[in-house]
Amino acid sequence: MSGQRATDDARTITLAELPGRPCAIAASLEVVGDRWALLVVREVALGNHRFTEIARGTGAPRDRLAARLVDLVDAGVLERRPYQGTRCEYHLTAAGRGLVPILERLYAWGRRHAVAIDDPDRHRRAPWRLDEETS
């Protein structure tokens, strides 16, 4: 993927590189369009910065999580910060913080259209604080 960056910390894509109808949605999905990528961003946004915390929150296999963290750092969505020897924490960059409102809307959409209305965990596991009116 190439191209001049739209922001200082986000990897960008030239639309001509994309198959089908190239647009900003397709370009975005090239960067974060994987289940684990968005769940990692969710966990970091919720304050889980260490690998074990992110693994626990996402349920991702450790090898997949490790690969996704590398991808998100390379894409400029996350940054690594050392905290103990060779261990690192992960934090959202400006590009990563820009995904938080998208996750909030995806959460609201999921509650409305994807989660069973009678699911007992429907309200208990709400990580995002949205007004009932907007969710």
Which is nearest to 97 in space by CA: 59, 44, 29, 31? 44
Read off the pLDDT of residues 79-109 as tens digits, 9 standing for 90 and up.
Answer: 999 999 899 999 999 999 999 999 999 988 9
DSSP-assigned beta bridge partners for residue 91: 79
Residue 29's CATH number = 1.10.10.10
Does the structure show a pLDDT above 80 at 7? no
What average pLDDT does the structure give for the chain? 86
Q: In this predicted model, which residue has the larger pLDDT, 128 or 45?
A: 45
Question: 26 with 50, same domain?
Answer: yes
Range of the domain at 117: 99-135
Phi and psi based region of residue 115 (left: phi greater than 0; alpha: psi -120 to 50; beta: remaining): beta
Residue 5 lies in a domain: no
Q: Which residue type occupies 92? A: L
**What pTM does this model have?**
0.83
Does the structure show a pLDDT above 90 at 3? no
Which is nearest to 31 in space by CA: 64, 63, 78? 78
